[in-house]
Structure 1
Amino acid sequence: MIMTEFADQLLVLVMLINFLVLGSSRMAIAIRAVAVQGVVLGVLPAIIHTFSWHLIAIIVGMILAKGLFIPWLLFGAMNKVQIKREVEPYIGYVSTLIIVAITTALAFVFAAKLPLAQEHQGLLFVPASIATIITGFLTLTTRRKAISQVIGYLILENGIFIFGLLLTSAMPVMVEAGALLDLLVGIFVMGIVINHISNEFSTIDTSRLTALKE
């Protein structure tokens, strides 16, 4: 009981980080927030599952990748293109926060109506997963900078990972490792895209790509 309560507290922290990312105009704050979210999610499997060396390997890999390596790559890209703030999002910060607040509340309502297994009822995994996925989608679609869209991709993957924690007992460890590998590959691809956009157009504002002609 104590462990599940602690897991719920960590999931509340994850959802609060969602609001911080969408409400901040500073890129550095958003990157640090996603790094903290990744570390929190890396700790969660140790709370809800029994000890094994495979589990420890996955946890260490997640914390190193999401908490250190990927934020380091994002800070490097941000410094290279000299970005300090997110400029002119498609939707204002207040409007975005209102949207994510409403969708988070609806996620709790939707989760309460799902026919969950007995051991999963009353936990925050499903609403936290849905709220985080929506936050990632909003970050992807309402921010202009390519780095912000990488952050949105990370949050989206975090939401999928939260839901996957409910299915870990039915999933082999290699599937979890494969999901982590997909994340790293996606980040590398986005890093290449950011680099090419910056080199060719001296900006990473993706809205300007609509003006390209053959």
Structure 2
Amino acid sequence: MNPWFESLPSGHRWSSLWYGLVLCGCGAIRKPEVCKVCNGKISSEPVVIEVAPGRFERILPAMMGAEGRYEDYLYLELIEREWKRPVASSAAGLLQNTSISERASVVMLFWTYFEGRIERLVRLGLATVPEALREDVLAKYASVGSRMDRLYKLIFGTTYFNDLRAVGCANMVDFLGEVQARRNEFTHGKPSAINDLLAAQVVRQLRDEHFAWIEVFNHRVKALG
């Protein structure tokens, strides 16, 4: 089976995983068609407004993109760049006598991107909490592991991995658990923990993980609604 990115339309980068997705008024991430959370529709018909006495203009409806921040695009493009970079790079001389994979950056970038989306989820659950308290809680639970488990459970009554199972994406649990464990080993002095096979697995799962996270996000929006 060909990897998902080989079927992208010509000229589309990996960041195009966010293309066509918008934020609904209910807070969910959706395509412009009917929202699966609130069943609301977005009209594409222009609206006529009076911009000055007796002067009317037709305005096309605007929709907010579903990404949480500019970095949501940036990380995907950085992962793409690192994956496509020739293996025989300028770093080869430094790495050739070590057990560090030249693709280690793919895994590290993915995990940083993932951490940002987990923060977006817990911030969603803390949206009604006073800002000072919210930031204090986030500082207390600073690691992604504690946010996916203990903090997530305090906010939502379950864990992120259990939410993945609840939305039918249980296959992501083992994948993310392995990446998390290998990444932790890597950062604690075992560079061989991240190898080329893990990097390839991250790339293969990138699209499915992206949409699994969206399913969980919408699941939480619906529960909070």
Q: TM-score range by the shorter chain?
A: 0.3 to 0.5
TM-score (norm 2): 0.31
TM-score (norm 1): 0.32
Name whichever structure is richer in helix by fraction. Answer: 1
Name whichever structure is richer in strand by fraction. Answer: 2
